[in-house]
Amino acid sequence: MRPRAASSSFCLAALVIAALSLPAAAAVLERGPYLQQTTTDSVIVRWRTDVVTDGIVRYGTDLAALDQTASENMATTEHAVTVSGLAPNTQYFYSIGDLAETLAGGDSTFTFKTSPATGAVEPTRIWVVGDSGTADANARAVRDAYLGYSMAQPADLWLMLGDNAYEDGTDAEYQAAVFDTYPTILRNTPLWPTLGNHDGKSADSATEQGPYYDIFTLPRNAEAGGLASGTEAYFSFDYANIHFITLDSYDTDTSVGGAMLTWLENDLAATSQDWLIAFWHHPPYTKGSHDSDSEGKLIDMRERVLPILESYGVDLVLSGHSHSYERSFLIDGHYDTSDTFASSMQIDSGSGREDDTGAYNKATIGAANQGTVYAVAGSSGKTGNGSLDHPVMFFSMQILGSLILDVSGNRLDAAFVDDLGARTDYFTITKGSATADAEAPGAVSGLAATNITETSLNLSWQAATDNVAVTGYRVSRDGNVVADADMLSYADSGLAEGTSYDYSVIAYDSAGNESAPATLTATTDEAPVANPPPPGGGDTGSPRTSGSGAITPLLLLLLATALLARRFSTRPRAGLLAVLIVFSTPMLVYAHEDVKLQLETVGAKIEHSPGDYRLFMRRGRLLGLHGEWAEAASAYRKAQELAPPDAAAFVNLGIGDALDSAGEAQEALPYLSRFLARYPGSSNGWRTKGRVLANLGNTASAVTCLDRAIRFANPPTPELFFERAQLQIDDGASTDEVMAGIDEGVATLGPLISLLELAVDLEENRGHFAAVVKRIENMPAALKDRPRWLHRRALALEQQHRYQDALQLNRLALSRIDGLPAGRRNSPAFQALRSRVEQAHARLAANNSELISRLAGGLLRR
């Protein structure tokens, strides 16, 4: 008898029971571990296994006792375990595995160290590699040279400047170029990358998808300090007293007013860290394997990003992309092509080497426009050809290597270590004066009052002398400061007739030393007896309408739109304080919830350290960001009570700004006057005082303050010229006067699109269409040949009845739109532009046909 076959359900059950009775296949470690997003109290440990399994990190401060654990919520092959509740600035040992076994770890190379408390002065070493993703002997030689150089002091963190995995940034290429090349370093040094163009071939920043975004866990919500960016494409983080900023120069919009640069300004305004280091892939200056004079992304970063960074006092900018090592002087204000670089843009033309011409010194921590060093370190995997003759660079060389930074207190030391372990370049940046200047300037001489009228007079004096340099003069009337700037004369107005005033003038230097006052008493004239008005007479005065006429409501709307399109303007970070100017509260872009969390954190710190003035300053800034201006003023006042004299003087700016924002402009004014008395060269201070005076209705004086803000800014920002234009309009200025101010901005900053566009708007508004055409034709070719500017030029030609020329430009505009990549060509913005151009084209064609018909008819009649 043949045996009966088992049923299928019985067989399936037997197989399941048999499978469950067998031991599970052990997971194999395929990648890692590697450290991500280290903070003061947490770290993320990542690794990959070949099969799905649970992930556990066992850790402790003693290698022999890994008695604490952290685990994931679900089984996976891509493990990312957050280890939290850690102590700041503490070393831990760890292992990784699952419930059943340890996959790796348990020896002294498996270690992580939490970040020091934010703001703490702690020696910090940073390793920087760029374009390292070659996965070859070059990359390994650079790696080994770093390990030999840093054997006694390994890096605390590691920056990767893009093109991390050639050629396309695929997962397999990352395995070879990163995980197989740096296995030991990855397990004990937190890695902070940025996206390069090769990484971007397989990644998309808008959706945060692709191998780059899958592999790295980056702080989109300010988990490691800074301000939340809402994306892993760009972000910031803090380590000790250093603030790092990571930007995406390849796949994220870099336009002024766009999300990334808006976040950048907010982030810089919110930090009070001693050191500011920014990094991204495409260098703003290079003559290596790429040329920053001719390549779009490099130009964009230079023109759009550098003015923001320099206005907040950024110390060091790192980039790759060009396969060379290039390092600049300490410079400021160079945003155009290399042939426009001038010696005035060199803050320090020396080597930056202490054993040569001396370290680069920035006199004040955090002050705007005191100079930045730019380093291209794109030779950690390959070198390339290039002229290496960019004038901003002190040192340029085609050589493999990496950059090592050491930050300690007010000192940053940098060394470029080549693939043989030799230090081929080095420089130092220090903060604060190397030796204190205690010698006061001599008193001014020749103080005199001239051109005295019933309500005004002019003061003048001769220059004072100083052992270093006189930086300004402070004029007081009856004990109150009325002027503070680098000047040798002062026009005082708004005085009472027949009244005596006591004046004093002192000179001061950059160290704050003040001369003895020079004094003078002057009396205004008595007013003459007024003649009666002529019969039927009245006030024959009129508003200022010289030139080509007064400002129209349409122009007011244009300027208001231009200003609000920028949402807000951030003022340069100076000294101990960074304050945000907001033009329109409903349009704020920072995250209120993040600010609330930071306020709670600061509040807890104040409970433990109630005498720390810096905490109250931070509370003031955060309350301001949250719109609680009266409370912000109270916090700043408390900081002023606790602060040492120099810091207390600086806090006047925060108090004044907060009071003005709270609607107390009159109360704010004395604080700003005291701030400017101590810091007369502060562009930010003059800008703030101008805003306060405007709020009080004194627009003429506000314009003067903006003039000084522009004078002391190095360089001024486009927003300063916009604000002055608005104040000039409010003060009744003519279009010619406003246009002259905009032209000054273009002459100072170069052809920035925002200023050029406002100039064109002004010309169109007053009907100067020939001037519109000329202004557009004088734009750089990269701008004037864009579809929108071709169309605007066509519209201006149409107004001059130059229909044939306008037709040709519109045809060219349509051709340029058709030549765009499909994604841009089909975007709503370009579709709308196409529609406008086609409508204009049809209108012009009709007008042109009618004109030809008329001409033909006239000829026939002849």
Q: Hey, is 732 helix, strand or coil?
A: coil
* pLDDT, position 844: 80
* pLDDT, position 412: 96
- Integer Cα distance of 410 and 363 in angstroms: 11
Residue type, 641: E
* pLDDT, position 627: 86
Is it true that 32-113 and 124-431 share their CATH fold?
no
Return the number of other C-beta atoms located less than 10 Å from residue 108's C-beta: 8
CB 588 within 8 A of CB 579: no
- Integer Cα distance of 318 and 127 in angstroms: 12
Q: For residue 320, what are the CA distances in angstroms to 128, 170, 186, 514? A: 10, 19, 21, 46
Instruction: State the CATH architecture for 553-766.
Output: Alpha Horseshoe (1.25)
* pLDDT, position 548: 39
Q: Hey, is 307 helix, strand or coil?
A: helix
CB 733 within 8 A of CB 742: no
For the residues of 467-516, what is the DSSP string, one character each? SS-EEEEEEEETTEEEEEES-SEEEE-SPPTT-EEEEEEEEEETT--BPP
* pLDDT, position 13: 39
Strand ranges, E, within 195-315: 235-239, 242-246, 275-279
Q: Which residues contact 140 (CB under 8 A, 6 or more apart)?
A: 181
- Integer Cα distance of 303 and 44 in angstroms: 36
* pLDDT, position 21: 39
CATH class for domain 445-523?
mainly beta
CB 153 within 8 A of CB 125: yes
Instruction: State the CATH architecture for 32-113.
Output: Sandwich (2.60)
- Integer Cα distance of 609 and 342 in angstroms: 48
Q: Name the maximum alpha-carbon separation found in the chain.
A: 142
Q: Which residues contact 463 (CB under 8 A, 6 or more apart)?
A: 444, 470, 488
pLDDT in tens, 159-204: 999 999 999 999 999 999 999 999 999 999 999 999 999 999 999 9
- In the chain, domain spans: 32-113, 124-431, 445-523, 553-766, 768-862
- Integer Cα distance of 322 and 314 in angstroms: 22
Residue among 419, 420, 426 at smallest CA distance from 400: 419
**For residue 423, what are the β-bridge partners?**
417
Strand ranges, E, within 730-826: none
CB 356 within 8 A of CB 333: no
pLDDT in tens, 202-221: 999 999 999 999 999 999 99
Instruction: State the CATH architecture for 124-431.
Output: 4-Layer Sandwich (3.60)
pLDDT below 70 — which residues of the chain?
1-25, 433-438, 467-471, 485-486, 509-512, 526-594, 646, 714, 751-755, 848-862
- Integer Cα distance of 447 and 503 in angstroms: 10
- Integer Cα distance of 115 and 561 in angstroms: 44
CB 615 within 8 A of CB 609: yes
* pLDDT, position 84: 98
